[in-house]
Chain A
Amino acid sequence: MTEFFGYPRPDGSVGIRNTLLILAGTVYANKLCAHVAGLIQGAIAIEHPLGRTQVKPDLRMTRRFLSGTGANPNVGGVVIVDHFQELGCTAEDIAQDISPTGKLIATVNIRKSGGLISATEKTTRYAMEIARRLSDQRREAVPLSKLIFGMNCGTSDTTSGLSSNPATGLCSDKIISEGGRSIMAETTEWMGAETWLTSKAVSKEVADKIMAGVADMEARALASGEDIRGSQPTGDNILGGLTTIEEKSMGACKKAGNSPIVDYLDIAMPPGSQPGLYVMYGPGHGAESISSIAAAGAQVLVFSTGGGHTVSHPIMPTIKVTGHQESWDLMKDTMELNVSGVLRGEISLEQAGQMIFDEVLATCNGRLTKSEILKDDNSFAIHRVGISI
């Protein structure tokens, strides 16, 4: 049985980080959160442009992303800041959603606090108190079955489907064989690969949900009245040799590995307790996709990329892997692994899968990703399902 050293939480989940999150409930609290995070050791701010004057389904989606992110086991404590309460996504609403986890939570309302300066002081004090208590917590050995493993790909090229994606799938298989759970999202990139994906579903019910998810995403694309080409595949995909969304999809779905799909999840919703591979509804937009996976509770994510990438989630360490030597040479400042030896015949896919597994385990034990070290936590984004009004 493989173990890792993590931070056990009151609800039975285990964090691989002990982050103090300063969470903006609304766009107007962004800079306050960023300023306080700059003052407090170990604190990270999450900023976003939403939280007010959205149509109801869209506002509920914002709340789901913010609450799920705060509830993620990597967050040891959270201070949520809002501006002036709006029904349906207040700091108190988000705190209530997070409270079943039993973690340390505080809320601040800028108007009720008497304005920006007072609210900044209050947020700083809460943050300092929580940081003191988090600093008492220690890592403990826990089974790998506590891990929810996220998988994503982006800036894909031909190498993705032939090396880094299938190797990531083999890593996922290994985590699942130890009782863990994996999440693969990006419904747009199942288009054209549905037959293969549904053949892996454990039941007709799950297969039907996958097909309905793809139909829904394709309908949203068709409703634009425009050809999806140009957006999917993206310009950099096409330059890399990917011709159509179908080709991109087949390569993307190689991340699924050889494990059966045990269930289909709506975007940013946590998986069930059953070990195995879960597929999640969501867009191909990398930051939205990994943010939905973090909001579902994944503690770590492998991002497979042909062209190289800087993508990195604020509270979910994001390990970057490429199978393209040139991309490694150009982008290794923010990348952990180079598996291009697969295409040169130097290493097998199984060896590449083991390299990724070893890196995931080291990261769970506390090894920092390069993006964490460089504080380049650039990729929090909330999926939108409606308009601003």
Chain B
Amino acid sequence: MKTVFVIEAADNVGTAVLEDLIRQGDTVGTTGRVTDVTITARADIPYGHKVALRPIKKGEQVIKYGLSIGTATEDIQPGDHVHIHNVESNRGRGDLAAKK
């Protein structure tokens, strides 16, 4: 079974770090700090990219390294590719500051 790497138990995403690329429909397990989650990939996951391990609702925090790496901009399902199309940074947002 293909796997993704999970750094901390609190993480709701795992990272594809093996050269055997994950394709849509693949069954994917986990290694690292979390080993008991199995998901079905809902998209191709490029090398180095993240996949959701649990449902993450729009507005909830995406957790990696045990800490927030940003906010979900749409409802994310387990197996979804998690990247700039559905997560935005909470920091360094000069664009938001300029709107205030």
| Set of chain A residues within 8 Å of B18, measured between Cβ atoms | 343-344
Within 8 Å of chain B (Cβ to Cβ): is A247?
yes
- A158-B49, A159-B17, A238-B84 are contacts. A247–B91 as well, Cβ < 8 Å? no
| Complex contact A158–B48 (CB within 8 A) | yes
Of the stretches A16-24, A63-71, A109-117, A223-231, the one at the interface is A223-231
Per a CB cutoff under 8 Å, which of B17, B83, B90, B98 touches A246? B90
Q: Nearest A residue to B82 by beta-carbon distance?
A: A243
Per a CB cutoff under 8 Å, which of B31, B47, B96 touches A241? B47
Shortest CB-to-CB span from B4 to chain A, Å, is: 10
- How many Å lie between the Cα of A157 and that of B83 in the bound state? 13
Of the stretches B22-30, B34-42, B52-60, B67-75, the one at the interface is B67-75
- How many Å lie between the Cα of A232 and that of B65 in the bound state? 19
| Set of chain A residues within 8 Å of B48, measured between Cβ atoms | 157-159, 240-241, 306, 324
Of the stretches A190-198, A270-278, A369-377, the one at the interface is A190-198
Chain A: residues with Cβ within 8 Å of the partner, total of 39
| Set of chain B residues within 8 Å of A232, measured between Cβ atoms | 92
| Complex contact B94–A192 (CB within 8 A) | no
Of A188, A196, A227, A344, most buried by chain B (CB within 10 Å of CB) is A227
Q: State which residues 6-43 of A face B: CB under 8 Å.
A: none
| Set of chain B residues within 8 Å of A158, measured between Cβ atoms | 15-17, 47-50
Q: State which residues 236-264 of A face B: CB under 8 Å.
A: 238, 240-241, 243-247, 250-251
Shortest CB-to-CB span from A224 to chain B, Å, is: 5
Within 8 Å of chain A (Cβ to Cβ): is B7?
yes
| Complex contact A227–B94 (CB within 8 A) | yes
- A221-B94, A246-B91 are contacts. A325–B84 as well, Cβ < 8 Å? no
- How many Å lie between the Cα of A38 and that of B97 in the bound state? 50
Of A158, A225, A226, A251, most buried by chain B (CB within 10 Å of CB) is A158
- How many Å lie between the Cα of A299 and that of B82 in the bound state? 40
| Set of chain A residues within 8 Å of B15, measured between Cβ atoms | 158, 162, 241
Shortest CB-to-CB span from B31 to chain A, Å, is: 8
Within 8 Å of chain B (Cβ to Cβ): is A202?
no
Q: Nearest A residue to B19 by beta-carbon distance?
A: A325
- How many Å lie between the Cα of A177 and that of B88 in the bound state? 39
- How many Å lie between the Cα of A326 and that of B92 in the bound state? 31
| Set of chain A residues within 8 Å of B49, measured between Cβ atoms | 158, 241
Show 26 A/B contacts (Cβ-Cβ < 8 Å), sorted by A: A158-B15, A158-B50, A159-B48, A162-B7, A162-B15, A188-B92, A192-B69, A221-B92, A221-B94, A225-B94, A225-B97, A225-B98, A228-B94, A229-B92, A241-B49, A243-B70, A243-B82, A243-B87, A243-B89, A245-B89, A245-B92, A246-B70, A247-B65, A326-B19, A344-B18, A345-B31
Give the interface of A toward B (CB within 8 A). 157-159, 161-162, 188, 191-193, 195-196, 218, 221-229, 232, 238, 240-241, 243-247, 250-251, 306, 324-326, 343-345
